[in-house]
Amino acid sequence: MKTLQRLGLAALPVVLMLVTGASQTVHGQHCLTPDGLTDAIHSFAVQLATDADSAWVAKRDRYQVPAVAASEVEVITASSTCRDAKDAYKAEMGYNGNRRVHVVRIGTRFLVMNPETTAGDYEQFIVFDDEWVALAVFAG
């Protein structure tokens, strides 16, 4: 906050342009800018892929997610992968429009969600394989 005060109000539009412009340049029109929700999805995906507890193993099997090392779980921001994920999510959910998505790769699977797509109070997640075939849909 003190930095913004030192910059003065005249610099605020430049700061906002840099913050909002960076997300458009880096993530384009397909992936949402990584944020706290992205971090939570990534943490969930790591636990899903690595936890040996029987409840997590059952969930992993139900969602058709492979057991992989935490190093094989990553947030995806590559434009082409984000575009494919967004298009597959859109087709599976049956909606129109240009809703961007969060994408986390778990080995050879992709966990995709859009925070605007809900089932009641919960967001809809879809697990896709590497050919963008939906393997599991769940609310979380």
Structure token pair of residue 2: 């003190």
The pLDDT tens digits for 122-133 are: 888 999 999 999
What is the pLDDT, as a whole number, of residue 28? 56
**Span 40-54, mean pLDDT?**
97
Q: What is the mean pLDDT of the chain?
A: 82
Mean pLDDT throughout 6-20? 35
